[in-house]
């Protein structure tokens, strides 16, 4: 198991900083990314209509968190297009996280999950992308037979999530619903990048601050 100062191979580029309040390293996960660890550290993300799945092996204390946003159907797109994008990003986000945990010793039959996010951004959407994210992640985990131990989904609130894979503990904070209004143009730009076929979106939701 890696030391507190070291990330698993492949995650060296993840932003990780010592947080005096928690007395631990905190790794930040941005939209479209994921991170796993076996160290005594937290994984942090912020969510609007995006969803984060926290998955871990409670025996080994190894786990991780992803952060994904499925594309929203637009007026000129049909359901087949949306499904293609959903598989491309939602399935990728879940498979990459699970496979990474298994590659460092986690056992599929022991995996557990907690899921968060999926807030509704405004009332003008053709499709509620937050609800689409919720339906996807819950359906995926049911198919994979990974039990959901806790969830906080939907509603009007952006969220802060801090996940501690060693224990499976999650610290959750609901942010002011008014913050959602600031996210609509940012998430729309993120969605446009996905629909345009850009595989590595550069939008960082909620600004540059870590916590």
Domain ranges across the chain = 16-195
Of 48, 44, 133, 146, the C-alpha closest to 93 is: 133
pLDDT in tens, 146-183: 999 999 999 988 999 999 999 999 999 998 877 766 66
CATH 3.30.1330.200 fits 16-195, yes or no: yes
85, pLDDT greater than 80: no
The Cα 63–Cα 55 span in angstroms is: 5
pTM: 0.81
Of 104, 118, 96, 123, the C-alpha closest to 174 is: 118
Of 60, 53, 49, the C-alpha closest to 33 is: 53
Q: 55 has which bridge partners?
A: 64, 113
């Amino acid at each position: 198991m890696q030391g507190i100062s070291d990330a698993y191979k492949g995650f060296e580029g993840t932003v990780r900083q010592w947080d005096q309040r928690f007395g631990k390293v905190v790794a930040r996960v941005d939209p479209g990314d994921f991170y796993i660890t076996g160290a005594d550290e937290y994984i942090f993300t912020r969510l609007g209509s995006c969803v984060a799945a926290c998955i871990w092996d409670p025996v080994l204390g190894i786990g991780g968190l992803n952060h994904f946003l499925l594309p929203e159907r637009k007026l000129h797109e049909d359901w087949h297009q949306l499904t293609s994008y959903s598989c491309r990003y939602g399935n990728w986000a879940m498979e990459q996280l699970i496979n990474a945990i298994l590659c460092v010793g986690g056992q599929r039959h022991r995996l557990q999950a907690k899921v968060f996010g999926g807030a509704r951004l405004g009332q003008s959407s053709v499709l509620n992308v937050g609800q689409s994210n919720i339906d996807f992640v819950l359906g995926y985990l049911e198919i994979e037979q990974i039990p959901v131990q806790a969830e906080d989904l939907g509603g009007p609130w952006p969220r802060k999530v801090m996940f501690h894979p060693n224990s499976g503990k999650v610290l959750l904070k609901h942010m002011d619903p008014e913050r959602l209004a600031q996210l609509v143009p940012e998430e729309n730009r993120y969605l446009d990048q996905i629909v345009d076929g850009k595989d590595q979106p550069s939008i960082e939701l909620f600004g540059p601050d870590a916590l």
